[in-house]
Chain A
Amino acid sequence: MKALHNLSIRNKFAVIIIPLIVIIIGFDYFQVQHKFTHYKESVRLNKAIILGIEINHVVHELQKERSITAGYLANSGNKFSEEILAQRHTTDSTLNEFYKEIVNPDLAGFMKDHDKDVEHLKDFFDRLLEVRREVNELTIDPSEAIEQFSEINEVALNTVNLLINETPDKEAAQQVHATIYFLKAKERASIERSLGILAYSENVMDSTTKVRFSKLVAAQDSYLDAFLVIADQDSKDFYRSTVKEGEGDLAEVARLRNLIFGQEDLTENAEYWYEIKTKKINAYKEVEDYISNKIHEYTENAAAASSRDLYTFVALDIFIGILALVIMTIIVRNLIGNVKTLESHTKKFMVGDVSDRVDIKTKDEIGQYALTFNEMADEINKSHDALKKQKEHAEYLYENVIKQSEVVFENVEQGIFLLDKEFKISNLYSKAMETIFDNKRIATEMFSNFMRPYIIPRDLEALEMFMRHLFNPDMDEDVVNQLNPIEQVKIYTETSEGINTKYIRVAFSRIERENEIQNIMVTISDETQAVLLKQHMEEAETIKQQETELMLSILKIDPSVLRGFLYNSRKSLRSISESYEKQDGTNFETLLEFTFQTVHNIKGNSVLIGVTLITEKLHTIEESISKLRGRDMSGNDFLTILYEIDSVDKIIADMQDLLLKVADVYRKFPSQGHVVSNILVIDTLERGLNRMSKEVGKDVNFSFSNDKNVVIPDHYTTPFKDIMIQLMRNTLSHGIEAPNSRVKVGKLIRGNISVTLDHNSFDEMVVTYRDDGQGLDLKEIKEKALLKGLVSEMQADSLKDDEIRDLIFHPGFSTSEKADNYSGRGEGMALVKSIIDSKEGSFSISSEEGQFFEMIIKLPLANREKTELA
């Protein structure tokens, strides 16, 4: 079954059609064979009839010759001698016809089948010559002669019977039988004639012949009856109209026959009998010819009909066969062709030739299918076109997006790329990456590997950890991003020009899709320019601030005061390095103390005149020295100090330069220098005090009086300021009480410092400094001095108040625990004393506990020339 299903359509048709064709051809073959047999039989019968008729003609003449021969013999040759010759001639001519016929080529095939029968007949016909010789010699008995002729005729009639009696055609067979019966009846009639001739010739009939005669008549009648039973109506009618019993000659025959039966007066002439009887036999002959012809005609028609039938059938058969083949071929070819067409178009369509259409014109199912196929193809084409358009549009959009992103990635200033879950850099990254890192191996690199050459290992370790947390969906992005280790980082890139320092900012943000972290977008900006600019600006700002401060200091401060300060400061600072150079490097402690005092002194002055920049620098140096104190020092340690001092020296040098420029301005616009310098000095002091009092959180008033208009000479402005500043510092630290303490003792919250300038008769400048603080606490001074080991306990007990007061001028004495810019480290009063001493001046102090502190300083004005400054 499966094999049948799998056959191609062509083979399926073959499987259906070939058995049908075989069956039809087989059926046809039998039909043709049958018709051909029938035709051949008809032809054979026809030929047998023709030959039979010829034999019958011979038989008829032999019958006549037999009768005449009987008469001739019975009359011993006296009668019928003429008739016998004539009759023999006629008989021979019919025999000749017969011999002619059997060699007729038309009968060749037929004769082959019946050769034996015909040969047998010819043998008997040959006997005739012997019989005729005996008759001529009158050596044969008339009965014997009749017997001989009858034997020949019997064989002849039997032969006819053999020839025509085998036919499958029922109608023909019936006619043939009727004819044979009739022929046999006629033969009996003919023998009856011969016997009659004998009887009438001898005028008597013996009893043997009489019996024979009766039998003949009876046989004759029964054959006629049989003929009339089976013959067709036409033949019967013809017989009845031709042979009319009881009428005319036939009635005479009956009378003559009855005479023979009665053996009575057989006087009638034998010739008369022959004549009358022959008439009857001739009528029979007429009937015989009629029915013979009829059969002949019938068989001829039958042969023609069967021949026609055969050829018509064959022709029709071939015609229908060819027609069927042609139609079948057309249909099958059309079907297979259509199927093939469909198949090939479907294949074409399948491989993408969507414009292809099937052209099948038949209106059958395949045609319908082709129409459906074309409709489907149209639909597919439509949707195909729509899809194509959409695809083109999508491609256009995609390309546009790609192009735009490429343009963006090509031109954006930031480094942008994506990190995948393995921390690898995406294939697509912005061009800026290459510029920022001077590196082209970026795509698909592990980001940490990529960053390795640029950042420190600790940051690298942190970066790896950081990326892991970024990809951890349990971690909040903002929380993780706070820990970005390379948020702002300094990187070093190597270029052909050397190592390049860059500052970059790296930002990370998650890219989530379907609630899953797909990538991390990394944005890197090069902030080098901005950072450098900021640094430059900060530096510039610092420089500007310094310069401004310097400028302000210069403008604020009396130029002569400032000039003196700068000159002295430089000189003092240089003395430090000179001392260092003089040192053999063993006694650093002394050198350090010396340095400290010098620096501290300059600092005091700088505070007073308000050169903050220098104050701060000097304070830093003091801090450094403090750290070195009490430690084993080396030259190197000291060099650091010297280096710092040098930087201060430079600032001072800068200020001197500036000052010269300012001095130029002053020269151009001269004024009463001293007055101006006084005002500037006092202003400087007041400002200094304000600043200092704010620092310590005490409110102090400054009053200055100069009733005699004492002008502070240039060479005293600096010492004056130095002294004042130290005193003010002490007042603020130790003198002026805390506000609540002042309220308790009934003082104003606001403290007061007064400075008075005077000129005495000894040509001395008298400076009176006084505050309304708590005065000197002698007990505390004494305790401190003891603590610092300035005096022994023994000495302390015996000290008078004045002597205790003097302890504050001792180097190393300090009542303040903490060191700052304004209160001393116990160097303050020692410094004041040393300045006054250096100017050959004098001083006195007085104080009342809880009320005031006063110091009167006298400086000689006479030796101004000696100490004139630059």
Chain B
Amino acid sequence: MTTVLIVDDSSIMRRTIEKNLTGYDLEVIGTVSNGVEALEVVQEKKPDVITLDITMPEMDGITCLEGIMEIHPEAKVMIITALSDKLTGLLALDKGARGFLYKPVSAESLQKAFDKLLSRNV
């Protein structure tokens, strides 16, 4: 089963994403609130998919993404952010992100994005 790690500093957001992914043949193996923890989990569990916020305390999403790609380059990273700055988003794609979603997320948009992310063997 596809394993998922959720990285977001907002607990509400974490819960929303997790809730929307249940019953969807995905196993959420962890939810963390910052980049440092995220890298620890990635190192340990190598999740298939990682949802990643950009604006986070301690370590921002782009730095975290770079770290993830270094540890686990096969990971499919989906950026989920409220940030409206397109340049940062494009930078994330440059760094290896494969999915992108704007907050707030709906169940529908999240599932659609996951479908797309998982159907592409990139």
Q: Which of A's residues lie within 8 Å of B, judged by CB? A: 458-459, 461-462, 465-466, 469, 474-476, 478-480, 482-485
Which residues of B in the span 87-112 have a Cβ within 8 Å of any Cβ on A? Answer: 87, 89-91, 93-94, 98-102
Interface 1/0 per residue, B63-102 and A, CB below 8 Å: 0000000000000000000000011011101100011111
Known contacts: A474-B122, A476-B120, A478-B116. The answer to whether A483 contacts B89 by CB under 8 A is yes
**CA A474 – CA B87 in complex, angstroms?**
19
Interface residues of B in 6-64 (CB under 8 A from A): none
When the two chains form their complex, are residues A485 and B87 in contact, meaning their CB atoms are under 8 A apart? Answer: yes
Residue of B nearest to A479 (CB): B100
Are B100 and A465 in contact, with the CB atoms below 8 A? no
Q: A469-B93, A479-B100 are in contact. Are A462 and B122 (CB under 8 A)?
A: no
Give the complex CA separation of A582 and B3 in angstroms: 73
A465-B91, A479-B98, A479-B100 known; A484 vs B116 contact (CB < 8 Å)? no
Minimum CB–CB distance from B6 to chain A (whole Å) comes to 19
Residues of B within 8 A of A474 (CB): 120, 122
CB atoms of B87 and A484 under 8 A apart: no
Q: Which residues of A contact B90 (CB under 8 A)?
A: 462, 465-466, 469, 483, 485
A462 to B88, CA, bound (A): 8
Query: How far apart are the CA atoms of A553 and B44 in the complex, in Å?
Result: 66
Whole-angstrom distance between the alpha carbons of A483 and B102 in the complex?
10
- B86 surroundings in chain A (CB, below 8 A): 459, 462, 466, 483-485
Shortest distance from the beta carbon of A510 to any chain B beta carbon, whole Å: 14
- Write the chain B residue with the least CB distance to A469: B93
Instruction: Return the contact of B87 from the options A462, A478, A482 (Cβ within 8 A).
Output: A462
Q: Are A483 and B100 in contact (CB under 8 A)?
A: yes
A479 proximity list for chain B (CB < 8 A): 93, 98-100, 113, 116
Q: Can you list 27 A-B contacts with CB-CB less than 8 angstroms, sorted by A residue number?
A: A458-B87, A459-B86, A462-B86, A462-B90, A465-B87, A465-B94, A466-B86, A469-B90, A474-B120, A475-B93, A475-B98, A476-B98, A476-B117, A478-B116, A479-B93, A479-B98, A479-B99, A479-B100, A479-B113, A479-B116, A482-B89, A482-B101, A482-B102, A483-B89, A483-B100, A484-B86, A485-B86
Docked CA distance A458–B102 (Å): 20
User: What residues on B are CB-neighbors of A482 within 8 Å?
Assistant: 89, 100-102
Query: Which residue in chain B gives the minimum CB-CB distance to A466?
Result: B90
Q: Distance (Å) between the CB of B60 and the closest chain A CB?
A: 17
Bound Cα distance A475, B93 (Å): 8
Q: How far is the CA of A479 from the CA of B80 in the complex (A)?
A: 12
Count B interface residues, CB 8 Å: 17
Residue of A nearest to B90 (CB): A465
Inter-chain CA distance A480–B99, complex, in Å, is 8
Closest Cβ–Cβ distance, residue A444 to chain B (whole Å):
25
The residue of chain B having its C-beta at the shortest distance from the C-beta of A474 within the complex is B122
A483 and B116 form a contact (CB under 8 A) = no
Name the CB-closest residue of A to B97. A479
Q: Shortest Cβ distance from A764 into chain B, in angstroms?
A: 58
A465-B91, A469-B93 known; 6 other A-B pairs, CB under 8 Å? Answer: A459-B87, A474-B122, A476-B99, A476-B117, A479-B100, A482-B102
Nearest CB of A to B104, in Å: 14
Chain A residues lying within 8 Å of B98, measured Cβ to Cβ, are 475-476, 479
Residues of chain B with a CB closer than 8 A to A484's CB: 86
CB-CB under 8 A from A465, the residues of chain B are 87, 90-91, 93-94
User: What chain A residues lie within 8 Å of B101 (beta carbons)?
Assistant: 482
Q: Which 9 A-B pairs have the closest CB atoms?
A: A485-B86, A462-B87, A465-B90, A483-B89, A474-B122, A483-B86, A479-B100, A462-B86, A482-B100
Q: How far is the CA of A485 from the CA of B88 in the complex (A)?
A: 10
Provide the bound-state CA to CA distance between A480 and B86, in Å.
Answer: 10
CB distance from A375 to the nearest CB of B (A): 59
Contacts of A462 in B (CB 8 A): 86-87, 90
Least CB distance from B72 to A in Å reads: 18
A465 and B93 alpha carbons, distance in the complex (Å): 9
Contact of B87 with A461 in the complex, beta carbons under 8 Å: yes
Collect the chain A residues with CB atoms within 8 Å of residue B91's CB: 465
B57 to chain A, nearest CB (A): 24
Residue in B closest to A464 when the chains form the complex, CB atoms:
B90
In the docked arrangement, what's the CA distance between A461 and B86, Å? 10
In the complex, chain A residues whose CB is within 8 Å of the CB of B87: 458-459, 461-462, 465, 485
Known A-B contacts A461-B87, A466-B86, A485-B86; A480 and B93 likewise in contact (beta carbons under 8 Å): yes
Chain B contacts of A466 at CB under 8 A?
86, 90
Please, which residue of chain B has its CB at the minimum distance from the CB of A477? B116
Q: Which residue of A lies closest to B94 (CB)?
A: A465
B residues within 8 A CB of A475? 93, 98
Residues in A whose Cβ lies below 8 Å from that of B120: 474, 476
Most buried by B among A478, A482, A484: A482
- Measured CB to CB, the closest approach of chain A to B80, in angstroms, equals 11
Q: Which residue of A lies closest to B122 (CB)?
A: A474
Q: Which of chain B's residues have a CB closer than 8 A to the CB of A476?
A: 98-99, 116-117, 120
C-alpha spacing A484/B117, complex, angstroms: 19
Chain A residues whose C-beta falls within 8 Å of the C-beta of B102 in the assembled complex = 482
Distance in Å: Cβ of B99 to nearest Cβ of chain A: 6
B40 shortest CB reach to chain A, Å: 27
CB A441 to nearest CB in B, in angstroms, measures 27
Whole-angstrom CA separation of A475 from B100 in the bound complex: 11
Complex CA gap A598/B90 in Å reads 52
| Closest CB in chain B relative to A498 CB, distance in Å | 30
